[in-house]
Structure 1
Amino acid sequence: MTDVPETTMVETRRVSCDGSGSIRPGAGYKASALGHPRVFLEIDEKGYVECGYCDRRFVLKGSPAEHGIHELSAGDLPEPGDASVA
Structure 2
Amino acid sequence: MATNKLRLAQVLGKYLRPAGKCHEINFSTASVALKDLSDVNIPTHTGQKWDETDFRLARFENASKQVNTRFAIDLIAQVPPKQVKSRIVSCDGGGGPLGHPKVYINLDKPGNHTCNYCGLRFLKPEDHHH
**What TM-score do the two structures reach when normalised by structure 1?**
0.51
User: 1:35: how far off?
Assistant: 0.3
Q: What does residue 83 of structure 2 align with?
A: 9
Q: Which structure's residues are more often helix, by fraction?
A: 2
| Structure 1 portions without partners, runs of 5+ | 21-30, 64-86
One-letter amino acid of the structure 1 residue matched with residue 91 of structure 2? C
Letter in 1 for 2:89: V
The secondary structure found in structure 2 opposite 1:58 is strand
- Structure 1: which 4+ aligned runs deviate by more than 6 Å? none
Structure 1 residue aligned with 2:29: none
Which structure 2 residue ranges, 5 or more long, are not aligned?
Answer: 1-69
How far off is 1:18 after superposition? 0.1
Task: Report % sequence identity.
Answer: 36
Distance across 2 between alignment mates of 1:5 and 1:53? 17
Give the deviation of 1:5 after TM superposition. 5.2
Aligned residues: 53
**Superimposed CA distance per residue, residues 49-76 of structure 1 (whole angstroms, 9 cap, x where no aligned partner):** 110000100011237xxxxxxxxxxxxx
Q: Which of structures 1 and 2 has the larger relative contact order (alpha carbons within 8 angstroms, sep 6+)?
A: 1
User: What root-mean-square deviation, in Å, do the aligned CA atoms of Structure 1 and Structure 2 show?
Assistant: 2.2
Out of 108, 111, 122, which is 1:47 matched to? 111
Q: Counterparts of 2:78 and 2:86 in 1: how far apart (Å)?
A: 20
TM-score w.r.t. the length of structure 2 is 0.35
